[in-house]
Chains A and B, each alone.
Chain A
Amino acid sequence: MNWEGRKIYAGVAEGKIIASQMGISFFGGVDPESGVVVERGHDLEGQSVSGKVLVFPTGKGSTVGSYTLYRLKRAGKAPIAIVNEECETITAVGCIIAEIPCVDQVPINELRTGQLVKVDGDQGLVTLLAE
Chain B
Amino acid sequence: MRLSSVERAMLAGEQGRATQKAMEILVALGTIYDAEHMVPVTSVQIAGVSYDNLGEAGLHFLTQLQVGGGKARVLTTLNPAGMDVENWQKLGIDPGFAGKQLQVIHAFARMNVITTCTCTPYLSGNVPHFGEHIAWSESSAVCYANSMLGARSNREGGPSALAAALTGRTPAYGMHLDEERRPGITFVVEADLVENDDYGGLGKAIGERMQALEGKPVPYIRGLKQASLENMKSFAASLATYGGAALFHMKGVTPEAGQFSPPGEAISISAADVVKAKLELTDGDPLQADFVSLGCPHLSIKEIARIAELLEGKQVVKEFWITTARPTKQIADRMGYSQVIEASGAKFAADTCCVVAPIKGRFSALVTDSAKACYYAAGKNQFQTILKPFDEVVLTAIGESHQEAA
Q: Which residues of A contact B (CB under 8 A)?
A: 6-9, 32, 63-64, 66-68, 70-71, 74, 86-90, 92-93, 96-97, 104
Q: In the complex, how many angstroms separate the beta carbon of A53 from the nearest chain B beta carbon? A: 19
**A52 to B57, alpha carbons, bound, how many Å?**
21
**A124 to B54, alpha carbons, bound, how many Å?**
31
A67-B58, A93-B159 given; 18 more Cβ-contact pairs under 8 Å: A8-B28, A8-B31, A9-B28, A63-B137, A63-B157, A64-B158, A66-B158, A67-B48, A67-B57, A67-B158, A68-B57, A70-B61, A71-B56, A86-B32, A89-B29, A90-B157, A93-B29, A97-B159
**A9 to B58, alpha carbons, bound, how many Å?**
20
In the bound complex, residues from chain A placing their C-beta under 8 Å from that of B29 are 89, 92-93
Which of A7, A8, A66, A71 is B159 in contact with, Cβ under 8 Å?
A66
* A89-B48 in contact given A63-B137, A74-B60 (Cβ < 8 Å): no
> Quick check: A96 and B24 within 8 Å, CB to CB?
yes
Q: In the complex, how many angstroms separate the beta carbon of A84 from the nearest chain B beta carbon? A: 10
In the bound complex, residues from chain B placing their C-beta under 8 Å from that of A74 are 57, 60
Q: In the complex, how many angstroms separate the beta carbon of A79 from the nearest chain B beta carbon? A: 16
**A104 to B157, alpha carbons, bound, how many Å?**
20
> Quick check: A89 and B160 within 8 Å, CB to CB?
yes
Interface string of B5-32 (1 = CB under 8 A from A): 0000000000000000100110011011
Task: Determine the main DSSP class of B at the interface with A.
Answer: helix
> Quick check: A71 and B55 within 8 Å, CB to CB?
yes
With an 8 Å Cβ cutoff, the count of chain B residues facing the other chain is 23
Most buried by A among B24, B25, B32, B56: B32
Q: Provide 17 A-B residue pairs closer than 8 Å at the C-beta atoms, listed in order of the A residue.
A: A7-B31, A8-B28, A8-B31, A32-B57, A63-B156, A63-B158, A66-B159, A70-B58, A70-B60, A71-B57, A92-B25, A93-B157, A96-B21, A96-B25, A97-B21, A97-B61, A104-B32
> Quick check: B157 and A89 within 8 Å, CB to CB?
yes
Of all chain A residues, which has the CB nearest B163? Answer: A93
Enumerate B212-270 residues with CB–CB distance to A below 8 Å. none
Judged by a CB distance under 8 angstroms, whether B89 is at the interface is: no
* A92-B28 in contact given A64-B48, A97-B21, A97-B159 (Cβ < 8 Å): yes
Judged by a CB distance under 8 angstroms, whether B53 is at the interface is: yes
Which of A9, A32, A66 is B157 in contact with, Cβ under 8 Å?
A66
> Quick check: B28 and A6 within 8 Å, CB to CB?
no
In the bound complex, residues from chain B placing their C-beta under 8 Å from that of A66 are 157-159
> Quick check: B28 and A96 within 8 Å, CB to CB?
yes
Enumerate B34-70 residues with CB–CB distance to A below 8 Å. 47-48, 53-58, 60-61
**A94 to B24, alpha carbons, bound, how many Å?**
12
> Quick check: B55 and A67 within 8 Å, CB to CB?
yes
In the bound complex, residues from chain A placing their C-beta under 8 Å from that of B55 are 32, 67, 71
Nearest 4 A/B pairs, CB to CB:
A63-B157, A71-B57, A92-B28, A67-B58
In the bound complex, residues from chain A placing their C-beta under 8 Å from that of B31 are 6-8
> Quick check: A8 and B57 within 8 Å, CB to CB?
no
Q: In the complex, how many angstroms separate the beta carbon of B388 from the nearest chain A beta carbon? A: 28
In the bound complex, residues from chain A placing their C-beta under 8 Å from that of B47 are 63
In the bound complex, residues from chain A placing their C-beta under 8 Å from that of B24 are 9, 96
In the bound complex, residues from chain B placing their C-beta under 8 Å from that of A68 are 57
Q: In the complex, how many angstroms separate the beta carbon of A38 from the nearest chain B beta carbon? A: 16
Q: In the complex, how many angstroms separate the beta carbon of A65 from the nearest chain B beta carbon? A: 9
**A63 to B21, alpha carbons, bound, how many Å?**
18
> Quick check: A8 and B58 within 8 Å, CB to CB?
no
In the bound complex, residues from chain B placing their C-beta under 8 Å from that of A71 are 55-57
In the bound complex, residues from chain B placing their C-beta under 8 Å from that of A64 are 48, 53-54, 157-158
Which of A87, A93, A104 is B160 in contact with, Cβ under 8 Å?
A93
Q: In the complex, how many angstroms separate the beta carbon of A5 from the nearest chain B beta carbon? A: 12
In the bound complex, residues from chain B placing their C-beta under 8 Å from that of A104 are 32
> Quick check: B61 and A93 within 8 Å, CB to CB?
no
**A32 to B53, alpha carbons, bound, how many Å?**
13
Of all chain A residues, which has the CB nearest B154? Answer: A89
Interface string of B343-360 (1 = CB under 8 A from A): 000000000000000000
**A112 to B234, alpha carbons, bound, how many Å?**
47
